[in-house]
Amino acid sequence: MVTLDDLQVSTLGPCTVRSPLARYVGGRETNEYYVGETDRILYDDTVELLLARGLPLESLPTFESGGPRAELYFEPSDVKVGIVTCGGLCPGLNDVIRALVMELHEHYGVTEITGFRNGYAGLVPELGLEPIDLTPSFVANIHERGGTVLGSSRGAQDPAVVVDTLQARGINVLFVIGGDGSMRGAHRIAQEALSREVDIAVVGVPKTIDNDIPHIGQSFGFQTAYARASQSIKAAKIEAEASLNGIGVVKVMGRHAGFIACYSAVANHDADFVLIPEVPFSLDGDNGLLAHVRRRVEQQGHAVIVVAEGAGQEHLPTDETTDASGNQRLADIGRLLRERIGDDFATRGEEAMFRYFDPGYFIRSVPADPADAVYCARLAQTAVHAAMAGRTDLVVGRRRHRFVHVPIELVTQRTHHVSPDGDLWLSVLESTAQPFDMR
């Protein structure tokens, strides 16, 4: 159970520098713009949960609120910033980079901003990846294209070498844009800097297209991802409807969490079955997937299946190898479904006409949609405010419409999953009319 101590964010020291953002406040009361140092956001969101803890108000678990502070830790004119993007691509990476640069340069007056290329590898000098000088003119239009202008890579680097590089360049703020593996690396970098007693703020902007990082609400790029995935589902249905015994299979991202599969299916109600890692299913038997697909095709002439890439791995041979991020390689559930469903129809003297869609890399590389673009900008601004106030070893996120600071160590302890007993999965069942249990 999360406690108040778990939510305490590390700071480099007291804030004594007046913020240059004061000019935006004008004659208004400061508490209408600035975030107070004692402003906290409740972790629990129902009266029942609060009462169950049996704690006084001051002991309840709360997040530190994100946003601009009236007093800063760093003198803005002395700040040098580094930015790095790590892991796989995701819609909105360039939006975050652009918003970081614009907030730092235009509002805090920070002019020395370095973009390290190809993930943490760019912070290892011997690899020879020359950094990029990030200026407002350089980033002006990067949000119009997908990917990241800094490049990316998977895999960790020695935090001691990284901190050596930051110190050598005089960088005292590092923004890390990446997933849970990247955040573990950011935590090690922050801890290395703290152990040396050097003033380097490490702030994470968590990126996961699977939306599987806990405590941060929704991750950026996720809305764009499921919107694009829903287009593939629509295409699969149109193709399946036009074929005799047509079956559309759409495989979407989701190694351990089925959020994209769920949201994209609910978005247009065109899916007949949704398969996610959190909900096991059988292939054979009267209540197995094969029988249900066959019956659905008999009833309406076609069927559409949306499957997360990590679903049904129990039906496939285990691959013990891992990728550069340490993730176990997944077997191809899409191929298995095509083979088994095709064989099931063939044993009855029928042919299933498959239309297979795997839009993963297409979705990863598209620009953010307008809603995600706004979210990216606000996350980046919150990250800058946190760093300038001397916060470190944290990520920024949004909980119930409030921006918050979350210790990196907390968000990397576990992954966020679709609850088989939760309202999201119930919405999926209502949208698809698939059985509650296919085992």
Query: What tokens does 362 get?
Result: 């297409």
Q: Which residues contact 222 (CB under 8 A, 6 or more apart)?
A: 208, 209, 210, 211, 259, 260, 263, 372
Query: What tokens does 266 get?
Result: 């609910």
Amino acid 252: pLDDT: 96
Residue 376 to residue 93: CA distance in whole angstroms: 8
Alpha helices in 22-131, H assignment, sequence order: 22-25, 47-53, 93-102
Residue 397 to residue 405: CA distance in whole angstroms: 7
Amino acid 37: pLDDT: 82
Residue 178 to residue 221: CA distance in whole angstroms: 12
The ranges of the chain with pLDDT < 50 are none
Question: Which of 114, 125, 108, 105 minimizes the C-alpha distance to 81?
Answer: 114
Amino acid 322: pLDDT: 66
pLDDT digits (tens, 9 = 90+) for 277-298: 999 999 999 999 999 999 999 9
* Contact between residue 150 and residue 115 where contact means Cβ atoms under 8 Å apart: yes
Domains with residue ranges and CATH for the chain: 5-219+368-399 (3.40.50.450), 223-365+420-432 (3.40.50.460)
The SS3 of residue 112 is: strand
Q: Which residues contact 159 (CB under 8 A, 6 or more apart)?
A: 185, 188, 189, 191, 192
Catalytic, out of 210, 212, 344, 393: 210
Amino acid 127: pLDDT: 94
Amino acid 84: pLDDT: 98
Query: What tokens does 259 get?
Result: 């959020």
DSSP designation for 322? B
Mark 402-411 as b/e (b = at least 16 C-beta within 10 Å): bbbbbbbbbb
Question: Which of 182, 214, 221 minimizes the C-alpha distance to 89?
Answer: 221
Amino acid 192: pLDDT: 97
Residue 65 to residue 7: CA distance in whole angstroms: 11
Amino acid 27: pLDDT: 55
The amino acid that residue 23 corresponds to is R
Query: Residue 45 catalytic?
Result: no
Q: Which residues contact 177 (CB under 8 A, 6 or more apart)?
A: 83, 84, 85, 86, 93, 96, 97, 148, 204, 205, 207
Amino acid 400: pLDDT: 85
